[in-house]
Amino acid sequence: MNVGFFYVKNHGILQECIDNVLKVNKEYYSLLLEEKMKLYRKTLPGFTGFSPVLDANTEPGNSSDMHEEFDIVREDLELKANAEKRNDGSIGGANTWPEHPEGYREATLKYHWQDALPTFAAMDLSERYVHDKTRNPAARMSAAHYPPQIGPVNDRVVGIGVHTDFQCFTILWQQPLQVLNSDNKWIDAIPIDGTLVIKWALLLLFFTLMVEFHVQPWFARWTNDVFKSTVHRVVNRNSIDRYSIPLFFGSDDDVNIEPIASCISAERPARYEPITAGEYVNQCLKTLFY
Ligand SMILES: O=C(O)CCC(=O)C(=O)O
Ligand SMILES: [Fe+2]
């Protein structure tokens, strides 16, 4: 409630599955830049693919982020790899997968859908309220590598600058990151063996407000600004190669987000046009990546 951030254990994801996804990512990130750039994000649809270090910037005022990442959206492991791609630039559809290392797709998708998603169900959210809004979520996932930064550092470059995530919540396998607590102090979120970290994100706040208005009993107690969208960053000014795998869980693209009637008055006219979740997330990604 105060920080919008917590650990889950007994999440049901096999350690072997986590080990595999980390193994293929360590192999992937040891490839030559030239090889990874074959799937450069700007040449692929839907904000998927590879982004090199210093390519994106999360914190306005910073110059760029010191990490590289490979982004995917939800894809059925059983479907043929690289089939049925959507070319309309929207989120969703299949991904384009690196040729190397072998087994990258399988390890990644096993972690992503078959294993990470039950964490969501374990939090008891899906069945009760969001089930019909999360039938086909893109559930974007990023596998990131933060190279060491030793020697003189640029003040305007950190691993990932200060930000909040913009979907509903993020499930994070991580090495240390920093979270802003309710006293405005940066605290280290130290990895705890066998746990994943969950961070509330912006879209969830929209949801909880919407639910309050529609008086859905179960979710109503989650309202009144109880949840904070977690402000966080990664500062990798050390000699460690850091890896992390955030899964950004959101709603289906066509779920409508609009200012709720109880928040609109003569003094406070609606500040935002209605927007679908897909369009909203697309706008956020454009700001981040371009
Ligand atoms: O690398 C991490 O631990 C966090 C990454 C992150 O905050 C993000 O990608 O939004
Ligand atoms: Fe984040």
How far is it, in rounded angstroms, from Cα 168 to Cα 248? Answer: 7
Encode pLDDT of 108-117 as tens digits.
999 987 666 6
What does the pLDDT read at residue 71?
96
| Residues of the domain holding 102 | 5-205+228-255
Encode pLDDT of 226-274 as tens digits.
445 677 888 888 888 999 999 888 778 888 766 556 666 787 776 667 7
Residue 185 belongs to some domain of the structure: yes
Strand segments (E) across the chain: 5-8, 49-51, 64-65, 68-72, 140-146, 157-158, 160-163, 169-173, 177-180, 186-189, 196-200, 232-234, 242-249, 256-257, 275-276
Q: How much distance in Å is there from the Cα of 209 to the middle of ligand 2?
A: 22
Instruction: Provide, rounded to the nearest whole percent, the portion of the chain with pLDDT above 70.
Output: 73
Q: How much distance in Å is there from the Cα of 261 to the middle of ligand 2?
A: 30
pLDDT: is 261 or 88 the higher one? 261
- CATH number, domain containing residue 73: 2.60.120.330
What does the pLDDT read at residue 98?
96
Residue 91 phi, psi dihedral angles, 5° rounding: -80, 145
pTM value is 0.85
Residue 222 belongs to some domain of the structure: no
Number of domains into which the chain is organized: 1
Choose the residue to mutate in 145, 170, 200, 289 for probing ligand 1, maximizing ligand atoms within 8 Å of C-beta: 170
Ligand nearest to the CA of 164: 2
Ligand 1 environment, Cβ below 6 A: 142, 144, 160, 165, 172, 174, 177, 232, 234, 244, 246
Residue 276 belongs to some domain of the structure: no
Ligand nearest to the CA of 172: 1
Residue 288 belongs to some domain of the structure: no
The pLDDT of 19-25, averaged and rounded, is: 95
Dihedral sign computed on CA atoms, order 91, 4, 196, 211: negative
Residue nearest to atom 1 of ligand 1 (CA): 244
Residue 168 belongs to some domain of the structure: yes
What does the pLDDT read at residue 224?
33
How far is it, in rounded angstroms, from Cα 50 to Cα 47? Answer: 9
Residue 274 belongs to some domain of the structure: no
Residue 287 belongs to some domain of the structure: no
Ligand 1 nearest atom to the CA of residue 146, by list position: 1
Range of 65-74, 123-132, 200-209 with top mean pLDDT: 65-74
Q: How much distance in Å is there from the Cα of 102 to the middle of ligand 1?
A: 25
Name the residue among 97, 248, 225 with its Cα closest to residue 171: 248
Q: How much distance in Å is there from the Cα of 246 to the middle of ligand 1?
A: 6
Residue 161 belongs to some domain of the structure: yes
Residue nearest to atom 10 of ligand 1 (CA): 165
